[in-house]
Structure formats: C-alpha cells, structure tokens
Amino acid sequence: MDLEREGGRGANQLRPIDCTRNVLSRAHGSASCSHGETRVLAAVYGPKAGTKKNENPEKACIEVIWKPKTGQIGKSEKEFEMILKRTLQNICLLTVHPNTTTSIIVQVVHDDGSLLPCAIHAACAALVDAGIPLKYLAVAICCCLTESGQIILDPSKLEEQRMKGFVCIAFPSSIQSVISQGSADVGGESVGNGVITSLTHGVMPVDDYFQCVEQGRAAIIPLSNILKKRLQSQPASKQSKAG
C-alpha cells in the first residue's frame, strides 16, 4: 500500500535543497542550508589558538554550539551538539593545526522535519567556506519507516511524528577521482564505503534498518552533486553597503 505524501512526493523523492555560502560578514565561514521548509544557519570561527582543558593538544579541537529556534538550552540541544561534534571530528583533518580550537555555531531557523541532516549540510558548507582542512564532505539523509513497512526519505515534521521510527544517517560524500575504483564508479565519481553517523528514533526491525541504510546510500551521489553545485557557484563576498 503506497503512502500518500504531501505535495505528491514519491517515497524516494527529496525536498528541494538550497545552500548559500558566506552569509555572515563577521564569521570566518558561514552557510545557510534549507531542505524544503527546514532551515539552518551555521557559522564557523577559527582555527583559534589554544584547546580546552581535557582535549588532546596534539590535535585540533572542534566545539559545537547548537542554538534552538525557541526555548532554553537543554538536554536535547546538548545531544545534537555531541552528535554534530562527533560527525565533524570524523570529517575534519585534526592534525593540520594542532593545539587550536574551531567553533561551529548552528542556529535552527525553522524545523520542519529532517533537522539533523540539514544541520550537517550547513555545518559542512560553513567549514568549506572557512577553509578548514577536511577529509571529505558529509551528506546526510533521514529515512523513516511507516506503519505499513514502507521506507520513505526526507520526512517532514508531520510525517516524522506519525512514523514508527526514523533514522538519520550521514555518509561520506561522493568524490571525483582520477583513479577508477572499479564497479563503484559511475562516470568518474566513486562512493566511499561506510557510514559516519547513524541516529535512530523509535522502534524498527533490524532488516528494515539495513534497508533504510541502502536506500539512503543510493541517494548520496545526486545529493552530493546538488550540494557541490550550490557551494561552487558562489561569487566573492557581498559588497559593502556604504558608498
């Protein structure tokens, strides 16, 4: 039984994604990313000298501050900060600037489902804008499981609340390579193996979980291409309004 989604979207169809770089004039790197109605703004400051007390001084330290749209900072914000920090620590090259701290501030502008993938894309784009050395970019996607056992991608807030369970997965993005890597290649692009982050809500059987991962992985290449195209076609910084 096929589920009817708002706006006539297919089960595997994603909402329109938009990403803009260099939106804040004072931050060292900034980006705003939107998945349909969900919008997140990310700013990067750094690298700055010195690490926190309990952090390894031989590596760069990444600090994430998550700011919700409304309300006080509580446990769920701390959880998002921890997830984002672990994801970004995976993609950043921490040994290039040892004994420094890079701060990433994520501000939720509007939450309409699929918030964590949107935040990961915004944070990645802001890191690229700031020139922080990265191993690869991260693309993330949210898959949820309906009552009838069907898997749909990129749910909106209403859909998320009605689902049995949903999972948010972050993968390394597809890369261009001069070496062909065998059958994983499609026209010069290759998809890395592995999952960076996986976060589940609700209950789902193990087989359905792996099915979600496979469906998400199938969406990496088109998603990476969209993000790269948006990141690339940015002109230099906005001109000053004075004069």
Does residue 206 touch another protein according to CB under 8 A?
Answer: no
The answer to whether 13 touches 226, Cβ cutoff 8 Å, is no
According to CB under 8 A, which one of 28, 35, 121, 230 is a site residue for another protein? Answer: 28
Sheet holding 100-110, edge to edge: 17-21, 29-35, 38-49, 100-110, 61-67
Per CB under 8 A, does 170 bind another protein? no
Could you tell me the CA-to-CA distances from 170 to 3, 89, 91, 183, 209 in Å, in that order? Answer: 25, 13, 11, 22, 14
Min CB(187)–another protein separation in Å: 6
Residues 214-233 that bind another protein (CB under 8 A): 228, 231-232
- Contact flag: residue 194 with another protein (CB under 8 A): no
Residue whose CB is less far from another protein, 3 or 186: 186
The verdict on 18 binding another protein (CB under 8 A) reads: no
Identity at 31, one-letter amino acid code: A
- Which residue number, 16 or 243, has a Cβ lying nearer to another protein? 243
Among 54, 70, 72, 237, which residue interacts with another protein (rule: CB under 8 A)? 237
Give me the phi and psi of 224, to 5 degrees please.
-60, -40
Q: Is position 29 an interface residue for another protein (rule: CB under 8 A)?
A: yes
The answer to whether the CB of 162 falls within 8 A of the CB of 59 is no
- The C-alpha atoms of residue 227 and residue 90 are separated, in whole angstroms, by 19
Residue 242 CA to residue 12 CA, distance in Å, equals: 47
- Please report whether residue 195 would count as binding another protein according to CB under 8 A: no
Among 4, 6, 74, 178, binds another protein (CB under 8 A): 178
Binding flag, residue 149, another protein (CB under 8 A): no
Which amino acid type is present at position 171? F
Applying the rule CB under 8 A, the residues between 121 and 140 that interact with another protein are 128-131, 133-137
By C-beta, is 49 or 206 nearer to another protein? Answer: 49
- 4 phi and psi, to 5 degrees? -90, 125
CA angle centred on 137, ends 126 and 222, rounded to 5°? 110
Question: CB of 127: closest distance to another protein in angstroms?
Answer: 9
Residues engaged in binding another protein (CB under 8 A)? 28-29, 46-49, 58, 91, 93, 96-100, 128-131, 133-137, 172-173, 175-180, 183, 185-188, 192, 228, 231-232, 235-237, 239-240, 242-243
